[in-house]
Amino acid sequence: MPKFPYGTSAIEYSIQYVPNKKDVSIIVDWTSGVSVTVPDNISQERIDLVLRQKAPWILRRLSEFNEIKPLTTRHEFISGEKFPYLGRQYRLKVAATDSTSDVILAFQNGKFIASVPKSSSPTWRQEQLRIAFRDWYIKQGHSKVQQRIKLFAPRLGLTPSKTVMKDQQSRWGSCTKNGTININWRILMAPMRIVDYVIVHELGHMIHADHSSDFWTVVASVMPDYDERKDWLRVHGPTLQL
């Protein structure tokens, strides 16, 4: 990755050249760092000038991210432990039985119920339950996200071609050129209003591929308080993990 020196600091960034783009866009994200999107015919001198102008803001944002601490304790997947779904916490009950040779996870009466082989080791159970929870979030998330897209897409005059729940570490969502909306399954742990923000964000990219002022105007037209939701995700996003 290229680096831009500023005072005693060096700002590392990724860069993407886009045809017909008119200005320089800079995104500072807690997972992917500093991303710079520029016109394909721009000079390095112009890029450096913009980076120099934005350097105080970039460094301030990076400093804020350093204060965000990801969840340091991983789930143990034992009875009584709580797991989040759409911002609410639900307890897990694990039952060891001779009648199954695999892990079975269900959500019943406001709690997660897991059946595991009685002869299995704690380490095996933990890893298999982690996978089972991920698969559950993906399945439930696909249905929930489709419902919310049907709510928000018409407000923007859009019809996404497909919705995909993805296992991603560095993005909450993405939008392809053919209109596919990809959503990180981990966002299903967040409150519904944050899930909605990610969905509207990606719908906005069907209109504007960058993060220009025009893009944020589109997002604001549907979600005036998007900035507060965006900030919630910045602060709490690292804790949305198994």
pTM: 0.72
Give, for all 242 residues of the chain, the pLDDT tens digit. 899 999 998 999 999 999 988 889 998 876 678 999 999 999 999 999 999 999 999 998 888 776 665 555 678 999 999 999 999 999 999 999 888 889 999 999 999 999 999 999 999 999 999 999 999 999 999 999 999 999 999 999 999 999 999 887 778 999 998 899 999 999 999 999 999 999 999 999 999 988 899 999 999 999 999 999 998 888 788 888 88
CATH assignment of 144-239? 3.30.2010.10
- Which residue type does 105 have? L
The Cα–Cα gap between 229 and 232 comes to: 5
Q: What is the pLDDT of residue 60?
A: 86
Buried b (16+ CB within 10 A) or exposed e, 127-140: ebbeebbeebbbeb
Delimit the domains of the chain by residue range.
3-66, 82-135, 144-239
Give the residue from 61, 46, 40, 41 showing the smallest Cα distance to 4.
46
